[in-house]
Structure 1
Amino acid sequence: MPTHIKDLTTEAERDGVQQLVVGAVVEHDCRVLILRRPGDDFMGGIWELPSGKVEPGENLDQALAREVEEETGLQVTGIGRYIDSFDYRSGSGKRSRQFNFAVECVAVEPIRLAEHDAYTWTALTDEPPVTEAVKQTLAHYRNADGMRDHPKDA
């Protein structure tokens, strides 16, 4: 896995990406956690995955665990598969690439919001109120997942 993560950052540098961002798909009972940005923030009011910038000296998995904990209070115990990435311009105009991963957490509550004003658990089968890029990420997650680990005859 580290080689794969290193390949992602190398590719982003080669593509001229100025800012690396990580996003987490936290799933519980076939629902995923999404957070709402405060109205006065960059892209205020949008719903998004727990996500944030990779700090200098951090690798993607360190940043992922830190951002999930900062934004939700949840503790990441494992980073699952890489889902996808998308590019966008940040509030300061930087070319940014968000790498999205499935993550496992110790527990899914309580959620303690620090940077957002609301959260919800949205069903994977729903059409969540997120950007097109995040809709694509959730579709990739759902489709590649094949709803794994949900045994039909337990």
Structure 2
Amino acid sequence: MTERIVVVGAALLDEGRLLAARRSAPPELAGRWELPGGKVEPGETPEAALERELREELGVEAEAVERVAGEWPLKPPYVLQVWTARLRPASPDPEPLEDHDALRWLTSGELWDVDWLDQDVPAVREAAARLGA
């Protein structure tokens, strides 16, 4: 059995809103929305990977808060795990720096206004429970 590679996604929450990022690449994913994040590097904790990916992709300083229950299969050998995260007090506003061409802060009533990547839908549902709560 091949080793699984964990991809972390950030349910970045701020003032009752969830950040969605629109993919600009690869072509088969471009134009669809996802929770920002990326691969956990060898020797890195998922939380550290999440914070690094948010810095690289969005230019923000954020902290992982708690893991969202569940794990979702991506293309083998990848699996998606999601953490809620929040911006640190002095963080700049997020900007789409790499792999994305747009960002949107969505309230619980707007969550399904964007075309989420299929594998992100169950994770967004889980994160949504934290928005309304």
* Pair in the same fold by TM > 0.5: yes
Give SS of 2:116's match: coil
Q: State the one-letter code of the partner of 2:107.
A: A
Give SS of 2:71's match: strand
Cα distance, 1:29 vs structure 2: 2.5
5 Å-filtered alignment, 1:4-153, equals 16-41=2-27, 43-76=29-62, 78-83=63-68, 84-89=70-75, 94-107=76-89, 109-115=92-98, 116-126=100-110, 127=112, 128-143=114-129, 145=130, 147-148=132-133
- Structure 2: 5+ residue stretches without partners: none
CA RMSD across the alignment: 2.2
Indicate conservation of the 8 Å contact 1:68/1:75, yes or no: yes
**In structure 2, do the counterparts of structure 1 residues 100 and 20 end up closer, same or farther at CA, with 3 Å as the change threshold?**
same
Give SS of 2:74's match: strand
2: CA distance between counterparts of 1:111 and 1:39?
Answer: 19
1: CA distance between counterparts of 2:53 and 2:27?
Answer: 17
**In structure 2, do the counterparts of structure 1 residues 62 and 129 end up closer, same or farther at CA, with 3 Å as the change threshold?**
same
Q: State the one-letter code of the partner of 2:20.
A: I
**In structure 2, do the counterparts of structure 1 residues 27 and 17 end up closer, same or farther at CA, with 3 Å as the change threshold?**
same
Q: State the one-letter code of the partner of 1:125.
A: G
2: CA distance between counterparts of 1:51 and 1:136?
Answer: 16
Cα distance, 1:109 vs structure 2: 4.2
Cα distance, 1:110 vs structure 2: 2.2
Indicate conservation of the 8 Å contact 1:18/1:96, yes or no: yes
TM-score w.r.t. the length of structure 2 is 0.82
Report the number of matched residues.
128
Indicate conservation of the 8 Å contact 1:23/1:50, yes or no: yes
Indicate conservation of the 8 Å contact 1:124/1:138, yes or no: no
Segment of structure 1 superposing worse, 117-126 or 65-74: 117-126
- Structure 1: 5+ residue stretches without partners: 1-14, 149-154
Identity score, percent: 25
Which of the pair has more CA radius of gyration?
1
Indicate conservation of the 8 Å contact 1:17/1:97, yes or no: no
Give SS of 1:117's match: strand
